[in-house]
Amino acid sequence: MERSIIRLLTCGSVDDGKSTLIGRLLVETDSIPHDTIDSTRNIRRSGSTIAAGEIDFSLLTDGLEAEREQGITIDVAYRSMSLLDGKRLIISDAPGHEQYTRNMAVAASRADIALVLVDATKGVRTQTLRHLTICSLMGISRVIVAINKLDAMEYSQSVFEEIRSHVQTALTRMHLDDVLFIPLSALAGDNVVQGSTHMNWYRGQTLLESIQEWRPAELADASPRMRIQLISRADNFRGVSGTVHRGSFTVGDEIKIFPSNQAAKIAKIITYKEEIQTAHDSDAVTLLLEPEVDATRGDLIAAASEELHPSDRFNAEIVWLHEDPLIHSRSYLLIAGTSQTPATVTRIRHKIDVNTGSQNPASNLGVNEIGSVEIATDAPLTLLPYLQSREFGNFILVDRLTFRTVGAGMIRHSLRRGENVVLQKYEVNKSARAVQKNQRAQVIWLTGLSGSGKSTIANGVEKRLHALGMHAYVLDGDNLRMGLNSDLGFTPEDRAENVRRISEVAKVLVDAGLIVLVAVISPFETDRQRAKSLFDEGEFLEVFVDTPVEVCVDRDPKGLYKKANKGEIPNFTGIGQGYETPKNPDLHLKGDADLDENVTKVLGVII
């Protein structure tokens, strides 16, 4: 089934001329209403040198008023035009400023062709190389490098060749096989739609020709797949709905549902208006299965012959999109299609220098940086290598507190250990162990500044519980740093790993039926929420020991504030590093109140 839509991404550095080029392309192919074109003759950006009455092509793709005021593209502007063979070309004009790389990366994930502009008057810049790197990571089929503004360089062939040589050197380290170089002037119209009379030394295609003659590569593997977007229910009716990708499904086909590996047969295929026998690529359908297997939103349906391997460990490449850095051991939400699950970046293998292509060691990733990471998900996912399937090999990471998208990722491969480790269940379970001890297993997580009184309160609670014949254990942050966590420092990533390890130990002890008292600073809200997510409803109680920092400094039981004030302890919470106050703690204690009173309050939520 031949595709009817081609997606073109335009990118490059600020002021390379993307908006002007796309505006001209739209005008010269008669893809813009004439009244819209006429309006651009009377509007001018601040500082514009375009003569009155002339068309300012760049205004045709900038959709936000803020963009016009600043003279830059902020959001991705989308425009559509018809090609000669009847196909539609969807053009996305991506922002060039480094601050908006995230917008470009999202647009690149869906593009077939990338048009990367280089300003001939400025040459290749870092953002140009960053965009080429992202195009490579996103698996874009064809890249057109348009060397623009050659009219300002007297249409010099030597300038064109010098820039092409620079870009080709960078391309040797990227997985881009189909790359074209076109010299042009968006302002004057050279080699955009019509060939240039000023560059007789160039015999290649115009921009429009290079777009129109592109054809997608034939897929060697055309096995059908469908990710479940919705479970459709009605009286005596239950179907799974989604969009078919690559191949086709036919009534009677044997299928499997992943990650559960359940087998079924397609009994009916229904569209929004009729029942059909075969569903093809891009068709939105509802499948009725026999038998009615236990499928859920986010599951993947594939032909029964497909050998897919769900995993909870992946190697991936990530474009980091947020001002706050990526921190390994911190929990995020991983969203792939309609599936959503907590995930932790367990290792940052390296980050990529977009200028040289070198792979440099890294402990975190900053905004717009690109790196290779290992990810662990809380549940197995059926994700495919991105180079094999863009649809089923991409994901985003979302902050669990703000729900902002912080990273865009591409799966390279699943890690073998994610497929080989299987949960072993035992007959004596958590409930049985707790009943044996005549108590409810739970974790009491005491958080607060150093010197706030967490350990003192935990000690008092454990003594009272012990006297009552109950089974409790204290996990103290400092004590664990003498053994299990002795390899960790106090950076945000090490603190995240410290909390992750403590919460996993607490989970084991709760499974043993114990009441677990955790006394650890745990300064970051997202790390505490990740710890809470490991436990069943009602098993995790967050206790905020709220003590003024002045009181903590006066107490200073370990002499740490004194050392921190001398600069001997960097990243010390309350002085060198901030503390994020719990938003909705289950219990709020005043750390400078009477100890017995605080102990009694904690016991009140336990017993």
Q: Give the residue numbers marked as catalytic.
A: 522
Helix spans in 447-567 (H) = 454-467, 477-480, 492-511, 525-533, 549-555, 560-565
Q: Bridge-partner residues for 280, per DSSP?
A: none
Helix spans in 6-92 (H) = 18-28, 34-39, 65-70
Cβ atoms of residues 514 and 441 within 8 Å: yes
Q: C-alpha angle 358/385/380, rounded to 5°? A: 115
Q: Using the 8-state DSSP alphabet, how is residue 151 labeled?
A: G
Residue labelled with tokens 């008292």: 517
Q: Bridge-partner residues for 288, per DSSP?
A: 268
The DSSP annotation for 311-337 comes to EEEEEEEEEE-SSSPEETT-EEEEEET
13, amino acid identity = S
The DSSP annotation for 214-276 comes to --PPPPS----EEE--EEEEETTEEEEEEEEESS-EETT-EEEEETTTEEEEEEEEE-SS-EE
Residue 523, preceding peptide bond in cis (omega within 30° of 0): no
Query: Which residues are within 8 A (CB) of 141 and not within 5 positions of it... i.e. 6 or more apart?
Result: 112, 113, 178, 214, 216, 217
- 3 state SS of 603: helix
- Three state DSSP letters for 270-318: ECCCCEECEECCCCEEEEEEECCCCCCCCCEEEECCCCCCCEEEEEEEE
Query: Which residues are within 8 A (CB) of 301 and not within 5 positions of it... i.e. 6 or more apart?
Result: 225, 226, 227, 228, 240, 242, 255, 256, 257, 258, 287, 295
Longest dimension (CA), the chain: 95
Cβ atoms of residues 445 and 528 within 8 Å: yes
Query: Which residues are within 8 A (CB) of 257 and not within 5 positions of it... i.e. 6 or more apart?
Result: 263, 264, 293, 295, 299, 300, 301
Residues listed for the chain = 607
Cβ atoms of residues 606 and 443 within 8 Å: no
C-alpha to C-alpha distance for 17 and 57, rounded to whole angstroms:
10
C-alpha to C-alpha distance for 551 and 556, rounded to whole angstroms:
8
- 3 state SS of 13: coil
* Helix 126-137 vs helix 157-171: crossing angle, to nearest 10: 50
The closest alpha carbon to 304, from 254, 264, 269, 247, belongs to 254
The closest alpha carbon to 465, from 485, 441, 446, belongs to 441
Query: Which residues are within 8 A (CB) of 267 and not within 5 positions of it... i.e. 6 or more apart?
Result: 251, 288, 289, 290
Q: Which burial class, exposed, middle or buried, applies to 27 when counting CB atoms under 10 A from its CB (0-12, 13-18, 19+)?
A: buried
Cβ atoms of residues 138 and 113 within 8 Å: no
